[in-house]
């Protein structure tokens, strides 16, 4: 029997607000344990929540970007469960009336584009953090309690781990472009829970789902889904029954670990949060959010292809990160060759960024300097080969490209008479090679060019050298 995978994702994105969702404590990551807490964070009697207006505005922007209707009135609810990282004994979330309704997200897998449904987007607070490496005890850090999140819930529309990967990647790009989440999965600001079930191919009824929680990388999501699909298939083929369970993914062992039986909504005993008024989103608030929406990745990619003439594969890379796309657009403001600029950004700029673990804003090779370097290649001032050296020296020495070219003596020789003299010397020194060339061994043209480049210490203009050789060799 052949099975079809059915996947839905619940993505938790931490919002880039200055303070937490219901109090004035900072939501900054990385400070010492228990340095960002208050009676509200700890759920002490008498403390009352006050909603962060900026978090609401960010949720509205996310909804608009994903084509969701914005609820003019939404309410918060108490989600009741007991766990040591939840001091109040409940989480303030949204249930019956979320702030954003149904939307869609386009994904592209192996050149095939399709839309994945968004069920809802709702606001909620994060729980605290438990540290389990102090055996036999566990420690509690309150810093994360109350951090503002949006939870983006997809429809069960994905049919493979590849599609789930593409969905999460596309969603991450949009959140980064909106500048409402830094999407740092290692720090936990973007977390993903996956619901997966199998059903016989061709059947429309959904199978029993299991949940895999808190995957912190794209690759782990892909691996976890493939592992769980294989596990469920083995159970079903052996005549067993899938239990509705929640699993944790162990990336070291590459396997899922049962955590608990999976809850239904009734288990959380949702009821309206009595300490918070309904959230009212006015038409003016929606209009304001809409005017601040940036050009989103898909639209920018399309513009790069149609307006700038960039290949689709290159456009996908250049728009994968807003900072990369912004950097590239600043480079071509210098009116340099667009395709050369795309290649330099994708190959050399990203090489330095990845090798040296730098942000683009930290590069000494600024967009202006890179645009200038590409122009110097185009006008023959420096060869493409020497420009690679210049590029690295700009980063090392923090100097403009023309200064480095002058200091290093890398100016390309394009003087026809000087190059013709060099070429004639090469030909005079290699009469037998000339005979072989004229006898049909045209590969020797590369030999002659190489000798000329060697004689000019790499500074000869290869285009001019080729032209001179073609003339002299007939």
- Per-residue pLDDT of 28-44, as tens digits, reads 888 999 999 999 999 99
For residue 138, what pLDDT band results from cuts at 50, 70 and 90? confident
| Domain 416-473: top CATH class | mainly alpha
With a pLDDT cut of 90, the percent of the chain lying above it is 72
Q: Are strands 271-272 and 77-80 parallel, antiparallel or unpaired?
A: antiparallel
Q: Which of 173, 190, 171 is nearest to 320 (CA)?
A: 173
Reply yes or no on whether the pLDDT at 325 is more than 80.
yes
Specify the DSSP class assigned to residue 168.
H
How confident is the model at residue 414, as a pLDDT?
67
Reply yes or no on whether the pLDDT at 263 is more than 80.
no
Q: How far, in Å, CA of 151 to CA of 13, rounded? A: 6
pTM: 0.86
Reply yes or no on whether the pLDDT at 330 is more than 80.
yes
Cβ atoms within 10 Å of 390's Cβ, excluding its own: 24
Q: Summarize the confidence of residues 10-24 as an average pLDDT.
A: 97
How confident is the model at residue 459, as a pLDDT?
73
Q: Which range has the worst mean pLDDT, 79-83, 90-94, 120-124?
A: 79-83
SS3 state of residue 429:
coil
SS3 state of residue 152:
strand
Q: Which residue has the higher pLDDT, 284 or 383?
A: 284
How confident is the model at residue 265, as a pLDDT?
66
For residue 345, what pLDDT band results from cuts at 50, 70 and 90? very high
Q: Which of 39, 60, 40 is nearest to 50 (CA)?
A: 40
Enumerate the CATH 1.10.10.410 domain ranges in the chain, comma separated: 416-473
């Amino acid at each position: 029997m052949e099975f079809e995978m059915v996947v839905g994702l619940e993505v938790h994105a931490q919002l880039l607000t200055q303070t937490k969702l219901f109090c004035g404590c900072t939501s900054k990551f990385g400070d010492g344990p228990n340095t960002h807490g208050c009676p509200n964070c700890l759920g002490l009697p008498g403390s009352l929540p006050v909603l962060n207006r900026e978090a609401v505005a960010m949720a509205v922007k996310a909804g608009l970007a994903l084509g969701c209707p914005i609820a003019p009135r939404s309410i918060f609810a108490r989600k009741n469960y007991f766990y040591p990282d939840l001091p109040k004994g409940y989480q303030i979330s949204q249930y019956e009336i979320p702030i954003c309704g149904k939307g869609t997200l386009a994904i592209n897998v192996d050149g095939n584009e399709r839309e994945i449904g968004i069920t809802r987007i709702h606001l909620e607070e994060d729980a605290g953090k438990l540290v389990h490496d102090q055996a036999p005890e566990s420690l509690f850090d309150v810093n994360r309690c109350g951090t503002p999140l949006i939870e983006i819930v997809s429809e069960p529309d994905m049919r493979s781990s590849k599609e789930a990967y593409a969905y999460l990647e596309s969603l991450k790009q949009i959140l980064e472009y909106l500048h409402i989440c830094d999407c740092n999965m290692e720090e936990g600001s973007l977390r993903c829970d996956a619901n997966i079930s199998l059903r016989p191919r061709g059947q429309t009824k959904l199978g029993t789902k299991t949940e895999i929680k808190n995957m912190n990388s794209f690759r782990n999501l892909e691996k976890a889904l493939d592992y769980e699909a294989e596990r469920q298939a083995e159970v079903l083929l052996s005549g067993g029954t899938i239990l509705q369970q929640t699993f944790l993914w162990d990336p070291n062992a590459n396997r899922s670990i049962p955590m608990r039986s999976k809850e239904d909504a009734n288990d959380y005993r949702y009821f309206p949060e009595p300490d918070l008024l309904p959230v009212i989103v006015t038409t003016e608030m929606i209009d304001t959010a809409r005017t601040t929406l940036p050009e989103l990745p898909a639209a920018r990619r399309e513009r790069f292809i149609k307006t700038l003439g960039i290949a689709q594969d290159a456009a996908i890379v250049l728009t994968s990160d807003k900072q990369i796309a912004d950097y590239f657009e600043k480079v071509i403001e210098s009116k340099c060759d667009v395709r050369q600029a795309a290649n330099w950004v994708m190959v050399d700029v990203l090489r330095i960024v990845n090798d040296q673990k730098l942000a683009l804003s930290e590069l000494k090779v600024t967009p202006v300097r890179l645009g200038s370097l590409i122009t110097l290649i185009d006008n023959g001032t420096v060869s493409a080969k020497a420009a690679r050296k210049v590029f690295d020296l700009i980063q090392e020495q923090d100097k403009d490209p023309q200064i480095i070219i002058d200091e290093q003596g890398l100016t390309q020789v394009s003087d026809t008479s000087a190059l013709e003299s060099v070429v004639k010397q090469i030909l005079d020194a290699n009469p037998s090679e000339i005979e072989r060339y004229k006898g049909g061994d045209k590969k020797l043209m590369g030999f002659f060019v190489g000798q000329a480049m060697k004689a000019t210490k790499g500074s000869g203009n290869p285009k001019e050298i080729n032209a001179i050789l073609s003339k002299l060799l007939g």
